[in-house]
Structure 1
Amino acid sequence: MIVKTFILALLVPSIDALLRFSCSQLVVERLDPLVNPGVTQSPHVHQIIGGNSFNISMDPSVSPADQATCTTCTFAEDFSNYWTAILYFKARNGTFKRVPQKGNVGFESSNGGMTVYYTPTLASAAGKYVTAFQKGFRMIVGNPTYRTEAEAKKFRQLTYTCLQNMNTRTDETLYFPKKSCPAGIMVNVRFPTCWDGKNLDSPDHMSHVAYPTSGTFENNGPCPSTHPVKLPQLFYEVIFATEKFANEWPTDGSQPFVWSFGDTTGYGNHGDYVFGWKGDALQKAMDTNCNINCPALKTQSIATGNKCAQSQKVKEDVDGWLTELPGGMPVG
C-alpha cells in the first residue's frame, strides 16, 4: 500500500519553520544502550551519529553534553545520539554486503550519517511553541520484530522513498521498494510528538510519548489528554546507496535488501534517540522559530563533524562480504 505523501514541514501552513541539519557517522557497531544497556554486543548492527559520549551504557542522569568532546552534527551544541539499523545487500550466492549511506541534498560532503529535523509548530492559538526535549529524555519508535503491514501501521510515518533522483519526496511506502531505485532508498523515521509531561523514559522507551489523537503533527493534530505536552517532531532521513547494486538484483525479481536485524520486508523500520543538547539551546531554537539556518545556535562545518568519530568498542567486520549477518541474525 502506498502511504500518502507528506509534504515537507516547511511548506505546511501550520508549521512555522524547522531545523534541518546533517550529522555524519560516528560509528557502526552492535551496541544499543537503550534496548540492551550494559550488553557488550547487541543483537544487530546500528549506525550511530552525534556526540562521542555514546557508550555501552548511558546513565540518563548524566547528559551527553557533559561528557562528549565532539559531535558529528552541524549544530555544535547538539551532543545527542541518534541511531538506526543498517542495510545489507544479499547477493545471489547468499553472502551479505553492507549498503553505504550517503549525504542528502546540500550535505553531500558528509560521511554517511543522516539528516535530522526538529520541527516546531504552534501548540495553541495563544502562540505557545513546542516544549523541547529535556535532559535525560530518550525514546524509540518502531519495532524490529514486525513483519506485516498491519503491525507497521501501529507507527505513523515510518516509511521508505524510492529515489528517482536526490530530490524525490513522493510515493512513500511502508515496505522496501520492490524495484531498483536510481538514486537509492531513503528511510524516513518520524517520532511521536506528544509527551506525558512527567516521564523522561519508560520501560519500553515508547509509552511516555504518543501520536496526536487525530491528524498528524504537520497539520497540528491535538495531543491526547494522557500526553498533553507537544514536542518538536524529530525526523530522520537516512539515504542508502542501493543503486550501487542495481546490476546484481535477483533474477526472480525479489528485492535483495535486508535490515541488519534480518528483516526483508521493511516493516521492522525503527529508530532510537537520546537527547543531549547543551543547556537550553534546543528550546531557544524552537522559540526563535529558526528556519534551517539558526543564528541562535553555534554551528560547525561538515568537515569538522566528519572528524568526530569512535572506534568500535568490540572489533567486528561489518563491511566486508559476510557469510551471515553480524551477530548471526537470521533472515526472515
Structure 2
Amino acid sequence: MRWITSAPVALLALPTPISALIRFQCSQLVVERLDPLVTPGEVPSPHVHQIVGGNSFNATMSPSKDMPGESTCTTCQFSEDFSNYWTAVLYFRARNGTYQRVPQRSNAGFEGATGGGMTVYYMQDPLYDTAQKSKVKAFQPGFRMFVGNVNARTKDEAAKFRQLTYTCMSNAGSREHETVAFPQKPCRYGIMTSVRFPTCWDGVNLDSPDHMAHMSYPETGTFESAGPCPATHPVRTAQVMYEVIWDTSKFNSKDDWPEDGSQPFVWSFGDASGYANHGDYVFGWKDQALQNILDTSCYASSCGGKTQDITAMNKCAGLKPTVNENIGVDDWLTALPGGHMTESR
C-alpha cells in the first residue's frame, strides 16, 4: 500500500518567541463501533469508540478527501476544527459479570457539553511552561495518527507508549498521581484518562501502515523535558493531548466490585488492566487555521481563531449511529458490544 506523503519540510531558524497553548472542549459527536483509521470500511468495527469533532465521521474517511470540506459542522469549540478525535469507551463490570457503560463528564468550565466529550490540547512546550516558546509545524491535510497498544496487558507491554495515563480524581481539579494502569481504589469524582501523542514527524508521510511509524518520541528525554527530535523524524509538531473524564462515581460501592476487591473497570475491547489505553486522530483543521493559531501569542481558546459556544457545539452533536446496537448506556449487558469479555494477564 502506498501512503500519502507531502513535500519535505524545510527546517528554518525562527527566533521570534511565541506562546500558543491551545485548550478547548469538544462535545460528543457519536458513540458506536466504527474505526475508520484502524479498520476502515469495517461495519461494525471490533469495539466501541466515543468520537468528537467534524460531522463527516464515517466508516471509511479516505485520506484523499477534503476533510474540512466534507463536514458541515463540528462539536469542537474552534469552529474551523473539523478534525476527529476518538478513544475507546469505558465500562463497569459488576460482581455478577454484567456490564454498563460509564458516562462521561466535562472538564470544569465546560459544563453542558453533550455527552461530556473531551478536552483537547495542542501544546508547543510542556503544559506547565506557559511561555510556550517553541516553533512547531501544524499537521497537514490527510494527516492521521494512532497511539497505544490495544493488546497490552502488562506494564512492560505498555512501556513503549509514554504518557498514556489515568488520574483518580477526588474533585474537578485533581491532576496528581498519574498511573499507567487503572486506579485500584474508588475515585470519588471519576477517572481521567490522558492520551498524549508523539511530537516528532518524519516531515514526509501523512500516515503509515501502523499509523505510528511516521511519528516518533524525542530522541532523548520526553516532550516534558524538551528532548530533541531524532534525525529520522526532524519536524517538531505540537503535542496533541486528550483529557476524558469518566464519571465512575455511581459505581464506587465496593459491594458491587469483584469479590476479590480487584478494580471493576474495563475498556470496550475487554482490557481490565488499563495498559491498553489508546487514541486516534484524523486532522481536519480548515486551511491554515491551526498554524495561524500556533504562531499566535495566546492561551487556551483565546487564540484568534474562530470559536463557537457550547450551545453551537451541541447542535452538531448527536450524529445518527451507523451501527444499531445496545451499547449499555442504561441497560446491563451480558457481554461487551462485539462479544468481548474481560481479559487481563
TM range (shorter): over 0.9
Runs ≥4 in structure 1, deviation > 3 angstroms? 14-17
The answer to whether the 8 Å contact 2:150/2:276 transfers is: yes
What TM-score does the superposition give when structure 1 sets the normalisation length? 0.92
What aligned pairs does 1:82-231 form with structure 2 within 5 A after superposition? Answer: 82-111=85-114, 112-121=116-125, 129-231=135-237
What TM-score does the superposition give when structure 2 sets the normalisation length? 0.89
Secondary structure class of the residue paired with 1:285: helix
144-153 vs 214-223, which deviates more? Answer: 214-223
Match of 1:274? 282
The answer to whether the 8 Å contact 2:20/2:293 transfers is: no
The Cα of 1:92 is off from its aligned counterpart by: 1.1
Distance (whole Å) between structure 2 residues aligned to residue 40 and residue 285 of structure 1: 36
What aligned pairs does 1:232-251 form with structure 2 within 5 A after superposition? Answer: 232-247=238-253, 248-251=256-259
Alpha carbons of structure 1 residues 229 and 183: separation in structure 2 relative to 1, 3 Å: same
Given the alignment of the two structures, is residue 298 of structure 1 paired with residue 306 of structure 2, yes or no?
Answer: yes
Of 21, 24, 38, 2:41 maps to 38
Q: Deviations over 1:270-308 (max 9, x none)?
A: 000000000000000100132113342011011211121
Aligned residues: 315
Alpha carbons of structure 1 residues 81 and 142: separation in structure 2 relative to 1, 3 Å: same
Distance (whole Å) between structure 2 residues aligned to residue 110 and residue 128 of structure 1: 31
Match of 1:262? 270
Distance (whole Å) between structure 1 residues aligned to residue 251 and residue 341 of structure 2: 22
Secondary structure class of the residue paired with 2:305: coil
Given the alignment of the two structures, is residue 307 of structure 1 paired with residue 315 of structure 2, yes or no?
Answer: yes
The Cα of 1:153 is off from its aligned counterpart by: 1.0
The Cα of 1:16 is off from its aligned counterpart by: 3.6
Q: Deviations over 1:14-65 (max 9, x none)?
A: 9944100000100000000011111111100000000000001011021321
Percent sequence identity is 63
Q: Deviations over 1:61-81 (max 9, x none)?
A: 213211101100000000000
Match of 2:8? none
Match of 1:11? none
The answer to whether the 8 Å contact 2:153/2:271 transfers is: yes
The answer to whether the 8 Å contact 2:34/2:45 transfers is: yes
Secondary structure class of the residue paired with 2:252: helix
Match of 1:328? 339
The answer to whether the 8 Å contact 1:121/1:129 transfers is: no
Q: Deviations over 1:232-281 (max 9, x none)?
A: 00000000001111123334211000000100000000000000000000
Q: Partner letter of residue 178 of structure 2?
A: E
Distance (whole Å) between structure 2 residues aligned to residue 197 and residue 149 of structure 1: 31
Alignment root-mean-square deviation, CA: 1.5
250-259 vs 261-270, which deviates more? Answer: 250-259
Query: What residue ranges of structure 2 are gaps of 5+ in the alignment?
Result: 1-16, 127-132
Distance (whole Å) between structure 1 residues aligned to residue 146 and residue 298 of structure 2: 26
Distance (whole Å) between structure 1 residues aligned to residue 18 and residue 163 of structure 2: 17
What aligned pairs does 1:41-56 form with structure 2 within 5 A after superposition? Answer: 41-56=44-59
Q: Partner letter of residue 332 of structure 2?
A: W
Query: What residue ranges of structure 1 are gaps of 5+ in the alignment?
Result: 1-13
Secondary structure class of the residue paired with 2:113: coil
